[in-house]
Structure 1
């Protein structure tokens, strides 16, 4: 199945050169983050909120 715009162009052809480099930068940052977590091992993340009372479960 091919995805095309209504004007018959492929979405990748609509990218400008600056936009495609921005996409590669984002992909590179994602890979860099995954590489940084590679040796972390099992872990737990805890997220909270400053708006929640301390008695709130």
Structure 2
């Protein structure tokens, strides 16, 4: 049960990052968008890397 909850939390975190990215992409500042995308991708990579339940 603990493993299932842990996976669901990580999936919710990814969904939250997707929503943030979608909202911020309306910002006209390209540099801000690029920095945000890099930040989201790095956080996603670390989330997957640190979770043994992702293959």
For normalisation by structure 2, the TM-score amounts to 0.48
Structure of greater Rg = 1
Higher normalized helix content (fraction of residues): 2
Higher relative contact order (CA 8 A, sep 6+): 2
